[in-house]
Structure 1
Amino acid sequence: MRVIFSHGHLSSPQSRKIQVLAPVAERIGCSVEAIDYTDLQDDPFGRVERLKARISELDEAPVLVGSSLGGLVSLAAAEVVPVAGLFLMAPALFMEDRMPGGVVRESYAPRCDRITVVHGWRDDICPWQGSVKFAEQTRADLYLIDADHRLEDALISIQGWLNDFLSTLS
């Protein structure tokens, strides 16, 4: 199984979350990659197109792991191409009006059955309410935790949740 990480707006494939979480996937036998969107910092639509193009090159549906804007990008791609699962951390959901030409959506329709969302109560960048709304609509597993947007204080817990999530898919 392949796991594709998508980083946040001002982050990179070398982000702390990816560096901490990629080995979790590798330990259970997954191949891992992180898409580089640094040249598309302010272009979420370009990011989605890049991710969809990468997925179209694969022989099997990957698992998408995204943080913040990377969570929204992963979800947007999963609405168009089938994926094996979505693991979203502090995703920028129901916030499209903050993007150039974006209109806030009422719902999302990913083409996968297995979804987990992790969000911090103290997130002052992407409101946790969007994750609750999404989880309610899709019946996703939801972890609301005492953390800020970066989720740095919760990385050990997130490692365990990602391990459990991937183990149920393999």
Structure 2
Amino acid sequence: MKQTIGMRIGRSALVTVLAGGVALAGVAPAANAASAAPAAQKMTIGPFGYGSVKLGMSAARAKATGKIVRKTINAPTTCSAWDLKAQRYGGDRAGLFISRKRGVVTISAPGNVKTPQGIGRGSTPAQLKAAYPNLKQNALYGTFAAVPGNPKASYVFLASKNMVVGVILILNAQDCLK
């Protein structure tokens, strides 16, 4: 992984902002869970995006997909915050960040969406290590791995001691969080 992902923000603040797009209890908001379940089960996060929303896509192009909605949050970010319509979050949580300079830079996997390698909410540490043998750890992201097929991106895996509770697809050269 390139050094371009290094940012000037503490891990707790980064996790609050990025993980905010992940329901840490592993439960999707009730209003959207039932309607999003059939479509979400067949989709994957990565290597370039989620459905028609792609990393690097401008805000205008991402909005034109009809798959995202803008939101206002109180968080240390220089970028605009959005949610996927398939997974909306309350409070200062967001499922997606868009940079004016780099476009879409983070996408949180909604619901039970998995990576093409089969990793998502509920995956065990053993499954995670088997799918991504070159997992790395750092103070900023915690557990992360290069995205197979996309050298410009990484997966950030939010995990409890026993399972993955969220997956975030992130552009390595993002400029949203400082």
Between structures 1 and 2, the one with greater strand share:
2
- TM-score surpassing 0.5? no
Q: Smaller-chain TM-score range?
A: under 0.3
RCO (CA 8 Å, sep 6+): is it higher in 1 or 2?
A: 2
Between structures 1 and 2, the one with greater helix share:
1
Taking structure 2 as the reference length, the TM-score comes to 0.24
